[in-house]
């Protein structure tokens, strides 16, 4: 508590809080002869110094609450992938960076999802992360308490490399920007209490290492399958033409016999029979 307060007080003094103490030092240094003329410096310095102390106390209290919230989320929180549903600009700036409002949707397994809005500075690195429309966050189940993990979000967005070296394969796999496999790996590490800061060495934990290796190999296989050129479809050749023997030629005798059959059955009249017979005989 004391160390946090001293740090906060030094921060306040560094960013413009030295005016009050300087006024007080000058007031007492000049002695009683000058005090009737510089009495304003005493009261102004006293008010500014009191404001500095109150600001430092407020920063200390806010820092303690933030640390307690962070520890609570670390103990009870669930690592989830939040969806960015909208980004809007504001008219105010902090340190020459425009503030933006980001709409987020959280889905927590086994609990009802919720929507919220987060205000943040639009720094170039942060905008690269936000352009992926996904953020990694720790969420306390059953509540709407959450904390964005910007380092993990940078991995998901592909802003920083996500390389995994497997000695058995003698290869280094890069899963940059692959949200599914990276979330699975981070959940494995979190479930086993492995901190996710910078380079992670899990060679001393064979169970965790095997689980992570399985995810990495599966993701790498999916990458290779997606990058492989599509195979050309087999050329379908037309079937060979079927030889059809020519129809046998009908002789004049067969034609006359058919005509006689038609007349005998009454299918044609006598006049039609005569006309058709003359045509057959004319073709000879």
> Which three-class secondary structure string do you get for the chain?
CHHHHHHHHHHHHHHHHCHHHHHHHHHHHCCCCCCCCCHHHHHHHHHHHHHHHHHHHHHHHHHHHHHHHHHHHHHHCEEEEEEEEEEEEEEEEECCEEEEEEEEEECCCCCCCEEEEEEEECCHHHHHHHCCCEEEEEECCCCCCEEECHHHHHHHHCCCCCEEEECCCCEEEECCCCHHHHHHHHHHHHHCCCCCCCCCCCCCCHHHHHHHHHHHHHHHHHHHHHHCCCCCCCCCCCCCCCCCCCCCCCCHHHHHHHHHHHHHCCCCCHHHHHHHHHHHHHCC
Which of the pair, 252 or 275, is modelled with greater confidence? 275
User: Which of 41-45, 82-86, 172-176: highest mean pLDDT?
Assistant: 82-86
Q: pLDDT averaged over the chain?
A: 79
d(CA 55, CA 18): 13
pLDDT at 5 over 70: no
* Among 140, 10, 151, residue whose Cα is nearest residue 68: 140
d(CA 52, CA 92): 25
**pLDDT tens-digit readout, 222-247:** 766 766 666 655 566 656 655 555 55
pLDDT at 11 over 80: no
pLDDT band, very low/low/confident/very high, at 99 (cuts 50, 70, 90): very high
Average pLDDT over residues 126-150: 89
Q: What is the pTM of this model?
A: 0.58
pLDDT at 63 over 90: no
């Amino acid at each position: 508590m004391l160390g946090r307060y001293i740090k906060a007080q030094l921060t306040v003094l560094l960013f413009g809080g030295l005016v009050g103490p300087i006024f007080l030092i000058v007031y007492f240094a000049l002695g009683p002869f000058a005090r009737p003329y510089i009495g304003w410096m005493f009261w102004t310095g006293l008010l500014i110094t009191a404001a500095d102390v109150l600001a430092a106390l407020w920063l200390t209290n806010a820092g303690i609450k933030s640390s307690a919230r962070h520890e609570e989320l670390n103990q009870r929180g669930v690592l989830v992938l939040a969806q960015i549903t909208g980004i809007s600009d504001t008219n105010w700036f902090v340190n020459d960076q425009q503030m933006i409002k980001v709409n987020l949707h959280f889905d927590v397994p086994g609990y009802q999802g919720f929507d919220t809005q987060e205000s943040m500075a639009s720094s170039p690195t942060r905008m690269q992360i936000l352009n992926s429309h996904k953020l990694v966050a720790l969420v306390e189940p059953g509540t709407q308490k959450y904390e964005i993990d910007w380092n993990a979000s940078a991995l998901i967005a592909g802003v920083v490399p996500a390389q995994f070296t497997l000695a058995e394969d003698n290869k280094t796999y890069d899963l940059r920007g692959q949200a599914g496999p990276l979330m699975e790996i981070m959940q494995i590490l979190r479930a086993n209490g492995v901190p996710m800061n910078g380079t992670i060495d899990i060679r001393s934990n064979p169970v965790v290492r095997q689980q992570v290796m399985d995810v990495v190999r599966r993701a790498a296989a999916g990458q290779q399958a997606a990058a492989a050129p599509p195979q050309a479809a087999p050329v379908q050749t037309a079937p060979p033409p079927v030889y059809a023997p020519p129809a046998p030629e009908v002789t004049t005798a067969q034609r006359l016999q058919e005509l006689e059959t038609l007349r005998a059955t009454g299918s044609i009249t006598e006049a039609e029979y005569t006309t058709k017979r003359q045509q057959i005989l004319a073709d000879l």
